[in-house]
Structure 1
């Protein structure tokens, strides 16, 4: 579906604003994951590789890098869909200003998600280049990890936007980070196989969008992707994206149309 002119105009506004703070945003969305990759993959990774290693005889750096790529996409998308959305609704009233034009709430949502897609794609592309330079890609299919990261980011951005559109205060974002985002980052297969977790936590990991994104990106980077499992992962991420977008559209319609 082609975005409406109003949605494209809102995206242009967000991109114009992004020009003024892209350097600081790059620190969090690109530089920090790269430093984390260097610290964990090259130092801790050397210790892991001297021991039993990860299953399949894969080097720890090659195991870790695709997971960090997708996890960074999750964090970027969540960050762009929490405080900025609540701020645009309550503090600086950006969305009210947009709706003073012929734009509709759905145009605001579409423009927002397009901007999140831009942020996730550019950040993930920069990380992907570093991943290849580090020698952490065993297959040319690693380039397909980029759309996987994008879809994973949208699978988080849409429901978090729906949550933000229903809030009056920002305290819930701290709980979101503490009880969902950080546990998923740690226990959804980014750093070690989830089969090493207790059974309850293992099934929790399988239920998260992050695990599906990490598993698919890793399979692509290692050249081990299979059509059946890839379609399952993509379908699950698409389900989160579609459901979250529907909820976000309803929440913004109720919040903005008085």
Structure 2
């Protein structure tokens, strides 16, 4: 499995041992693993990043996994399409029933078999990948994104963005109207690259606007904060 936007997994788990086990289990298979040790940290990462699968403990130091799942569902409508796998030491039937009633996709009790765990996670990510392949083109305002080729079109015009430029524009356009700080954009687009800074975002936005030409106003500056894609959410549709 190649690393791409469909392989970002969020692990919310306060046990360093479990974090290590999960990290090793999912290494080398094209997964980007983000880790949080508290519910608050997990919720923050969930709001700032595009997450494809959540591994969630029930017993967290500042909340429990059930309440956190509710907060996530209320925070982002997309949560209903993100698989949630409870990873917990609680083996009681009532906890399992509660988890599945809330919409969990799986329930794994610790300790678990690492090989089976990895297979379950990869299977769920593969289903996401296949689903996305069936729906790879969407329109935001007057421009069309082709996710399979990472190209953007204005009518018949191929706007020719680099991979990073495409990722930046796509990240903004997927949530039209939402204001992203420079730090949020750096984390989402560049990840852990230590050689990028706040002004890196500004430079790429300037290039985006130049290439967008008459559509340059779609990427709007928000003074003192960052940037947003200006088209109305109703203008975005899959095609």
TM-score, normalised by the number of residues in structure 1: 0.28
Query: Which structure features the higher share of helix residues?
Result: 1
Larger strand share, 1 or 2? 2
Higher relative contact order (Cα pairs below 8 Å, separated by 6+ residues): 1
TM-score of the aligned structures, taking structure 2 as reference length: 0.30
